[in-house]
Amino acid sequence: MFDQSFIWGAATASYQIEGGAYDDGKGLSVWDMFTKVEGKVYNMDHGDVACDSYHKLEEDVAILKELGVKAYRFSISWPRVLPNGIGEVNAKGLDYYSRFVDALLEAGIEPYVTLFHWDYPYELYKKGQWLNDASSDWFAEYTKVMVDCLGDRVKHWMTLNEPQCFIGLGYFSGVHAPGHHYSAFDIIRMTHNTLLAHGKSLKVIKDARPEASVGFAFVANAVVPKSLEQADVDAARDFMFNRYEKTENKDDYDFTFDNDYWYDPIMLGKYPDWVTKMYRDYLPEEEQLRKDFELISQKVDFIGLNLYQGPVVEADGPYVKVSKQKPGQPFTALNWLVSEGIMYWGTKFMYERYQTPIYITENGLSNKDWVSLDGKVHDEGRIDFLDRYLRQLDKSYQEGNDIRGYFQWSLLDNFEWAEGYKERFGLVHVDFETGKRTPKESYYWYKNLIASKN
């Protein structure tokens, strides 16, 4: 099961764990503002304190070191280092991340930095956010600040985390910050600017640090074929990369989570055919589009896949249909399907199509966890979940798909966006009133797994 070169890690995101929302000159983010609106987040929860990791740097690094991970994926709070999103730099914010990176390296843990995990600067939101054509330049400026600060020590970078969510859920369905319902015209434009932001950010990093490893971490909408019959396997592949064409009923079709819509521009240098057929008038003119794709499709060193759930699908004539769920289908506490087969099929199909090394940058589940009377957190369900998914990942790995590492989501119970503190994804239980950390049984299971592979 895997070999010694495989990277075992854990992952978190800045707004979900840091707290310190108004400390040391930090600017506001769209999530700081969204959580103030009644009815947007469960229980009116917010990230003002979260796990208080901003003030518990040493404790959290010690927890990581005891876990034995080789790597830690975390994100930078853009408004913590640039309170206005651009312009004046907040030295105290930079100092926090610099100290954090030093502490990780001293503990023998390699930092994997995500530049953007949804906490968009509120001051730039007021200027039009991703709909403003200058937004990709704003992101490039922010990237340069971070690379100048951390590039001598950080070797692994991810530009963006899950644009499917911060664009699709933030500006199309409106269930995440900033909570808008924009038109398809606006979403296409925002997507293009987001992809340009990735490309310009990658160029900034590579220009400054050619040796750096740069990729991205996107949602991977993976599925499992109903059978091993070739028709069903082909249907699953089609559903992953050609869902629009293979979906019979296109009423109220939400394209913002289609894999080809996001991955193909970066990996293949073009939008899928259905996008250019339907939305060509919404995109830049041909010559500008060609120049944009030169930036967008620069070679990445790896693809980050965030894999959690996926349906079973089957061939249905010229279309693909989602199979009916089996009675008693297991679900997580967040009502996500337990579908471990996506780790095999998702990585297999992604590697077939793009021939680029893969990291699993997120995988885990929300579980109904609490500290028992014996002082322990008995989360056997999480252990079983991780075991199932990792066995399927290993199956793909053993078949020769180039999978470099696995980052468990999440190190800590944290602020789970619109679900507030109701959902617990962590290997470590957090008491959100006291901040106390209690490693769960899954923490020790994962620790033993990592130790057995080193």
**Residue 66 annotated in ligand binding:** no
Outline where DSSP puts E strands in 32-128. Answer: 71-75, 110-116
Nearest to residue 79, comparing CAs of 124, 111, 47? 124
Nearest to residue 205, comparing CAs of 289, 130, 295? 295
User: Helices marked H in 176-319 — which ranges?
Assistant: 184-208, 230-241, 243-246, 259-267, 273-279, 286-296
**Residue 308 annotated in ligand binding:** yes
**Residue 117 annotated in ligand binding:** yes
| Three state DSSP letters for 362-373 | ECCCCECCCCCC
Report strand pairing: 213-219 vs 156-161.
parallel
Non-local (6+) Cβ contacts of 392 within 8 A are 340, 341, 342, 343, 344
Q: Is 160 helix (H, G, I), strand (E, B) or coil?
A: strand
d(CA 92, CA 188): 37
Nearest to residue 157, comparing CAs of 304, 39, 352, 372? 304
d(CA 437, CA 243): 42
Helices (H) and strands (E) in the chain, counts: 17, 13
End-to-end CA distance of the chain: 12
Contact 176, 90 (CB under 8 A): no
Q: What are phi and psi of 302, to 5 degrees?
A: -160, 160
Task: Retrieve residue 113's tokens.
Answer: 């930095």
Q: List the catalytic residue out of 162, 314, 340, 423.
A: 162
**Residue 399 annotated in ligand binding:** no
Report strand pairing: 428-430 vs 437-439.
antiparallel
Q: List the catalytic residue out of 18, 110, 314, 362.
A: 362
d(CA 309, CA 336): 6
Nearest to residue 44, comparing CAs of 434, 420, 366, 414? 420
Non-local (6+) Cβ contacts of 164 within 8 A are 218, 219, 221, 256, 257, 262
Q: What are phi and psi of 194, to 5 degrees?
A: -65, -45
**Residue 16 annotated in ligand binding:** yes
Active site residue 419: no
Q: What is the dihedral of CA 393, 396, 397, 403, to 10 degrees?
A: -70
Active site residue 162: yes
**Residue 417 annotated in ligand binding:** yes
Report the chain's C-alpha Rg in angstroms.
Answer: 21
CA distances from 297 to 13, 84, 194, 199, 214 (A): 26, 29, 13, 7, 13
Tell me the catalytic residues: 162, 362
For the annotated binding site for substrate, the residues are: 16, 117, 161, 308, 409, 416-417
